[in-house]
Amino acid sequence: MGQACPCPDRASAERCLSEVAGVLGNTRSVDWADDFPAEGDRVVASLFEQYPD
């Protein structure tokens, strides 16, 4: 968790990255809304890959 990480703690950061991995890998969580992820969500998730810091 560097300075740019908006997550308050390590557990939150790990969950966030897990959700991003799910979006990028087309692995749906049972907790997600029916319309998630939408195209915009995939674009935002891809930014984590492009700019990991």
Judge contact between 8 and 20, C-beta under 8 A.
Answer: no
- Count Cβ neighbours within 10 Å for each residue of 4-31 and write b for 16 or more, e otherwise: eeeeeeeeeeeeeeebbeebeeeeeeee
Walk along the chain (53 residues) and give the pLDDT tens digit of each residue: 444 566 788 888 888 888 899 999 989 889 999 999 999 999 999 998 888 77
Structure tokens at 43: 């674009």
- Written as one string, the DSSP assignment of 6-28 is --SSHHHHHHHHHHHHHHHTT--
- The pLDDT score that the predictor gives to residue 5 is 61
- The pLDDT score that the predictor gives to residue 13 is 82
Domain ranges of the chain: 10-50
